[in-house]
Amino acid sequence: MRTDGLTVVLEKVDSALAWAPPWLAGIVVLVGSAAIALLLYNWALRLLGRIGARYGTLPQLLIDKGRGPVAAVLLVMVLGAALPAANFSHAVTLALGHVLLVAFVLAVGWGLNAALALSATIYLSRFRVDLADNLLARKHVTQVRILQRAIQVLILIVTAGTALMTINAVRQFGVSLFASAGAAGLVVGLAARPVLSNLLAGIQIALAQPIRVEDAVVVENEWGWIEEINSTYVVVRIWDLRRLILPLTYFIEKPFQNWTHRSADLLGSVHLNVDWTVPVDRLREELNRIVHESKLWDGKVVVLQVVESIQNVVQLRALVSARNSGQAWDLRCEVREKLVAFLQREYPRALPRQRVEMDADAIRALMRNERGSQQQRPTVVRPDAA
């Protein structure tokens, strides 16, 4: 005779439902067992939540992440223990047992995925990407996110494969597939080549890190930031809030610009075309005054140079530094606007001009030719004057 408490209770419930049809009694036994287990589980969770609230946010995070998977595993185990007491027919019992086995495999896979997400969240909680100098934080976020998605894909494949292998027909198909692994492997390899190449590219990006989350990049002649790095593609948030979707292999096979690969600070350049008479020293003093009054300048680099002379103008280049790409762009716009306003206000003749020079002899010859042409014009006599 069984002495297990749950079995005894189920047997008493079964004897109390002796008047009902066997299938209805079995359903009541299973549903009642599941309801009791879930009620006890929710009570235990509330108790653990009150106790864990005294020790910070980590216990609550563990409860939130593990609530669903643990409930699923517990429910499958309770239903498996209650199934013999349900007194279903042998065929129905075998079918329900197989369903519970598949559900248990899926619940374990769900739990592994939740444990992986919890580990990544706890690890990344030490880093902040909202700081100006966030290179190390972005490095770890990128590595953890890519590896997490790769492991998630692996867990999904293993879980689905294990669940399917519990079915006899699928297991036999798998054996026959391994028997003809030459042709089948070639077909599967060709079909899965894009997925596998992106998966390997993701692992390579996680290790070598040519890009990281929130890196400022220029790809396909578009400037933006790396917003997401998924298992097969990368989302680039363009400056006007459009999204550019690119496969992972793009960042392995094609060249692109990464403005924040080594550090977040950047140099911004401002080009001005001005007249040859521009007072460069005076403009350099004004540039120093502008950047020292700006909150966007990081105090490192401020340079003004004549970099080119083109026909009627000379080209000036101002170099200024900022803490990140966004501030560098805003600082460039501010410097350009204030330098143009300074030239308009103080040195308007230094703005680009077109010069035309004519000597006195050429002017007198032009005037003589004009008078001669006027004297040679025929006199028109009107009929009324005659």
> What residues have CB less than 8 Å from 83, skipping those under 6 apart?
30, 93, 96, 97, 100
Which of 36-40, 137-141, 196-200, 254-258 has the lowest average pLDDT?
196-200
Which of 59-73, 242-256, 263-277, 372-386 has the lowest average pLDDT?
372-386
- At 133 the three-state DSSP class reads coil
Which of 5-19, 212-226, 228-242, 368-382 has the lowest average pLDDT?
5-19
Residue 386 in domain: no
How confident is residue 7, by pLDDT bands cut at 50, 70 and 90? low
Residue 167 in domain: yes
| pTM check: above 0.85 | no
Task: Check whether 195 has a pLDDT greater than 90.
Answer: no
Question: Could you tell me the end-to-end alpha-carbon distance of the chain, in angstroms, rounded to an integer?
Answer: 149
Residue 133 tokens, joined: 């100098």
Q: Could you tell me if 244 and 272 lie in one domain? A: no
Q: Could you tell me if 160 and 224 lie in one domain? A: no
Q: Tokens 């140079």 label which residue?
A: 305
Residue 272 tokens, joined: 């001005």
User: What is the per-residue burial (b if ≥16 Cβ within 10 Å, else e) of 347-357?
Assistant: beebbeeeeee
Residue 356 in domain: no
Helix, strand, coil percentages for the chain (3-state, nearest 5):
60, 15, 25
Domain that holds residue 293: 266-350
Write down the pLDDT at residue 38: 81
State the CATH number of the domain containing residue 333. Answer: 3.30.70.100
How far is 75 from 382, CA to CA, in rounded Å?
A: 118
Q: Could you tell me if 92 and 223 lie in one domain? A: no
User: 9 versus 140: which is more confidently predicted?
Assistant: 140
Residue 375 in domain: no
Residue 189's alpha-carbon distances to 59, 156, 181, 195, 197, in angstroms, are 44, 19, 11, 10, 11
Residue 373 in domain: no
**What is the phi-psi region of residue 16: left when phi exceeds 0, alpha when psi lies from -120 to 50, beta otherwise?**
alpha
Cβ atoms of 275 and 352 within 8 Å: the answer is yes
The total of other beta-carbon atoms located within 10 Å of residue 203's CB is 14
Cβ atoms of 14 and 25 within 8 Å: the answer is yes
Choose among 109, 87, 84: nearest CA to 97. 84
How confident is residue 3, by pLDDT bands cut at 50, 70 and 90? very low
With 0-12 / 13-18 / 19 or more C-beta atoms within 10 angstroms meaning exposed / middle / buried, residue 318 is: buried
The mean predicted confidence, pLDDT, of the chain is 78
State the CATH number of the domain containing residue 218. Answer: 2.30.30.60
How far is 178 from 185, CA to CA, in rounded Å?
A: 9
Q: Could you tell me if 37 and 168 lie in one domain? A: yes
- At 44 the three-state DSSP class reads helix
The total of other beta-carbon atoms located within 10 Å of residue 320's CB is 26
Q: Kindly report the backbone phi and psi dihedral angles of residue 54, in degrees, each rounded to the nearest multiple of 5, phi listed first.
A: -80, -15
User: Kind and range of the H or E element at 298?
Assistant: strand 297-310
Q: Could you tell me if 276 and 157 lie in one domain? A: no
Give me the mean pLDDT over the 33-60 stretch: 76
Q: Could you tell me if 103 and 179 lie in one domain? A: yes
Strand partners, 306: 316
Helix axes 181-191, 193-208, angle to 10 degrees: 60
328-341 tens-digit pLDDT: 889 999 999 999 99
Q: Could you tell me if 320 and 249 lie in one domain? A: no
How far is 125 from 148, CA to CA, in rounded Å?
A: 15
206-248 tens-digit pLDDT: 777 888 888 888 999 888 888 888 878 899 999 888 999 998 8
User: 22 versus 277: which is more confidently predicted?
Assistant: 277
Number of domains, the chain: 3
Cβ atoms of 114 and 106 within 8 Å: the answer is no
Q: Could you tell me if 166 and 134 lie in one domain? A: yes
Give me the mean pLDDT over the 242-264 stretch: 85
Q: Could you tell me if 303 and 181 lie in one domain? A: no
Residue 196 in domain: no
- At 370 the three-state DSSP class reads helix
Write down the pLDDT at residue 246: 92
Which of 46-55, 146-155, 252-261 has the lowest average pLDDT?
46-55
The total of other beta-carbon atoms located within 10 Å of residue 290's CB is 20
Residue 131 in domain: yes
User: 94 versus 176: which is more confidently predicted?
Assistant: 94
Residue 89 in domain: yes
Choose among 272, 304, 265, 268: nearest CA to 288. 304
Q: Could you tell me if 145 and 246 lie in one domain? A: no
Residue 75's alpha-carbon distances to 81, 113, 206, 324, 356, in angstroms, are 10, 18, 38, 52, 93
Which of 22-36, 169-183, 226-240, 354-368 has the lowest average pLDDT?
169-183
How far is 328 from 318, CA to CA, in rounded Å?
A: 12
Q: What is the DSSP letter of 21?
A: -
Choose among 150, 155, 162: nearest CA to 115. 155
Q: Could you tell me if 80 and 112 lie in one domain? A: yes
Cβ atoms of 239 and 223 within 8 Å: the answer is yes
Residue % of the chain over a pLDDT of 90: 15
Q: Could you tell me if 251 and 270 lie in one domain? A: no
